[in-house]
A and B are shown apart, each in its own frame.
Chain A
Amino acid sequence: MALVRNWWKGLGVLLVLGSITIGLLTKTGPGVAVVSPGVVDASSTFSFTLTGYNTDFYGESAPSVWLKYKDRLFCADAVLVEDIKTLRVSFPPFDHRIDTVSRIATSVLIEDEVNGMFLGLDALQLNFNEVAVDTTTGCSIRPDKLEAIKFQFPFRTTLYETIRNLNFHVPMWFAMIAVLFLSWIASIRNLNSGDRKWDHLAYGFATAGLLFGIAGITTGAFWARFTWGTFWTADPKLNGAAIGVLLFVAYQILRSSIDDEDKVARISSVYNVLAFPIFIVLIIILPVLAKFSLHPGSGDSVGFKQYDLNNNLRMVFYPAVLGWVLVATWVGQLISRVKAIEEEQEMNAHE
């Protein structure tokens, strides 16, 4: 019977364990780690060395390389495979500029049968001496848009393998928002009914929310240190989240600063009813409105647009979110149950 009633806790544990397992075992797809030199003179023959990440250039077919500028593609003259992750690529000179400015950033596109098609975004800058502008479409050989069949996460420079942290760091925030919403509902019901059991639930879920908020902030800061280079930076998303978490630190302080149990329940409920909408504004609405943010996901608040090409991240991310929301609900429920017993014992002690 207890097993049937607690099915959601089991589901939460399964989803969390599953998302950690698949999130750790999935490989990161091939990518361009370094293009050297990064700036070349395009008016004469030029070449560069491309260092790949998670690539295998020892396949049967030689890789094809293009330079991509907007929707135009330019074919390489020669591609030499130096080793499993290094290519030496040469291009013929450009007779004309391909845009009105004298320097443009082009992306390097690589395709072969083993790695599929992948792109080094804005990896190579071209300098032009000629003034005349050429608008031809570039070369006629187009990529076949081969896809590597393997299930893999997309490669991003600076992120490397840490792209999978999306499945661990972001669900913390979803879990926090979910249990704080439950806490908000419980606070409203407590104010309506005056039944103390709703206050226990409100307290439990708010505490669980704070716990997951702290996990979200610390994992985020740690991830930022080794990708952006700093634990913290003045950014609308980061500061919004920090103030959001502080709102619920204040909730805890408010509760512990009042002695009368009845007053604790009512005052903290009123505070919670007001705090949750402000929290939502800080953590969802303001970041979406912000014009600049280092943190990915302006407008979609998670960052898929920037991170995902092949939907594989999503397939791990959504189960992870559901799993952590269920686990956070479980944590909140446990805290509220202990709270209920605590209060009952205190009442018995007074009698």
Chain B
Amino acid sequence: MSNLKSIRKWLMLALLAAGTHSGAFAGNLLDDTFFRDGKYYVVAGILIIIFLVLFIFLIRLDRKVTKLEKEQKS
């Protein structure tokens, strides 16, 4: 339950951050990063997404194996 609460807290913070940014800074932020020169940041973004998905898989697998180990012991 506390897990869910902390997730909600972080989500609120992220939304708040995004909200304050989008007005004054988002245009500049995007121009300075993903639209800059050769758009090289987009390539980095794509690779980060792929590895995020792989890490999410690893976390899920880790949880399952931990559960199995606990059951094995009991």
Contacts and interface: CB of A to CB of B under 8 A. Distances in A.
B49 A162 contact: no
B14 interface: no
Nearest to A349: B71
Interface stretch (B1-9, B20-28, B57-65): B57-65
B45 interface: yes
A348 B54 CA distance: 32
Interface string A145-166: 0000000000000011110110
A215 interface: yes
A215 B39 contact: no
A335 B38 contact: no
B50 A53 contact: no
A168 B68 contact: no
B62 to A, nearest CB: 10
Interface string B7-36: 000000000000000000000000000110
B64 A226 contact: no
Contact of A161 (B39, B49, B68): B39
B71 to A, nearest CB: 5
Interface residues of B, number: 22
Nearest to A159: B39
A16 to B, nearest CB: 10
Q: Is the interface of B mostly helix, strand, loop or mixed?
A: helix
Interface in A185-230: 211-212, 214-215, 218-219, 222-223, 225-227
A206 B40 CA distance: 33
Nearest to B53: A215
Interface residues of A, number: 33
Nearest to A54: B38
A161 B61 contact: no
B53 A165 contact: no
A345 B57 contact: no
Contacts of B37: 160
B39 A211 contact: no
Interface in A303-351: 331, 334-335, 338, 341-342, 345, 349
B70 to A, nearest CB: 10
Contacts of B72: 345
A211 B59 CA distance: 13
Contacts of B54: 215
B35 A345 contact: no
Contacts of B42: 161-162, 165, 222-223, 226-227
B53 A161 contact: no
A108 to B, nearest CB: 20
What 7 pairs between A and B have smallest CB-CB spacing? A161-B38, A215-B53, A160-B38, A160-B39, A226-B34, A161-B40, A226-B42
Interface of A: 20, 24, 28, 53-54, 159-162, 164-165, 168-169, 172, 211-212, 214-215, 218-219, 222-223, 225-227, 331, 334-335, 338, 341-342, 345, 349
28 contacts: A159-B39, A160-B37, A160-B40, A161-B38, A161-B42, A162-B39, A162-B42, A162-B43, A164-B43, A165-B43, A165-B46, A168-B47, A168-B50, A211-B57, A212-B53, A215-B49, A218-B53, A219-B49, A222-B45, A222-B49, A223-B46, A226-B35, A226-B42, A227-B42, A335-B61, A338-B61, A341-B68, A349-B71
